[in-house]
Copies of this chain bind each other. A is one copy, B any other.
């Protein structure tokens, strides 16, 4: 039995394209529809209720396109709307936080772990809470790294500036002797190599990779797999012009069927 319906991938902006890239790599036979709400990014600056409303609108838009599984490829949307969507949607819902937390817990040897993310994600404390729910004795050190997203957006991946910023942010965690750090922002996989070159002893959990792995497992366990031919990748953004220059770094290596602008409406 095969299921040719596409997998829906939603993010407030472009960062979720790192999740999409990992999904395509893990599941080359599947079709994907990516919806990036670039007209209203960043969600981190919005109220909880607004984030929930926007996420619901995105989910409704994707459900109307007959998706078989909904991936929340956005830390903020997962933190504030993940539980709600899991309850309300008619298809399986997978967010980016849980897979990252699970990998972090299974990989850390010394039980001292780090979480890095945007200010909004770190302020929400969602990673630390979910980690402690699983293991109350683990030591969690969180660090907001607000310069990483603009550095990635500038395409300044392997610059001296970026290496200095990595040193500035991560040395604090290194001093706390953490052995594993989760990348709690979908932009961060793009500077993973730079982080590792500065801190080679760290084990980095890439939530985009882990989420792709979780989706692949779920597709298998629920019998939702497509028939294995190459699937199509379609990208829809709510504002196409503003972020055009940023798209490039995210799309490298992705083969795309279409890129369109769409409008979201309240459901």
Contacts and interface: CB of A to CB of B under 8 A. Distances in A.
A42 B45 contact: yes
A164 B154 contact: no
Contacts of A153: 146
A150 B161 contact: no
A202 interface: no
Nearest to A149: B150
Interface residues of A, number: 21
Contact of A39 (B40, B47, B242): B47
A75 B151 CA distance: 23
Contact of A161 (B40, B45, B123, B165): B165
A147 interface: yes
Interface string A151-183: 101101001110011001000000000000000
A217 B177 CA distance: 58
Nearest to A169: B154
A235 interface: no
A147 B146 contact: no
B123 A242 contact: yes
Contacts of A40: 45
Interface string A127-159: 000000000000000000011001101101001
Contacts of A42: 45
Contacts of A41: 45
Interface of A: 39-42, 45, 47, 123, 146-147, 150-151, 153-154, 156, 159-161, 164-165, 168, 242
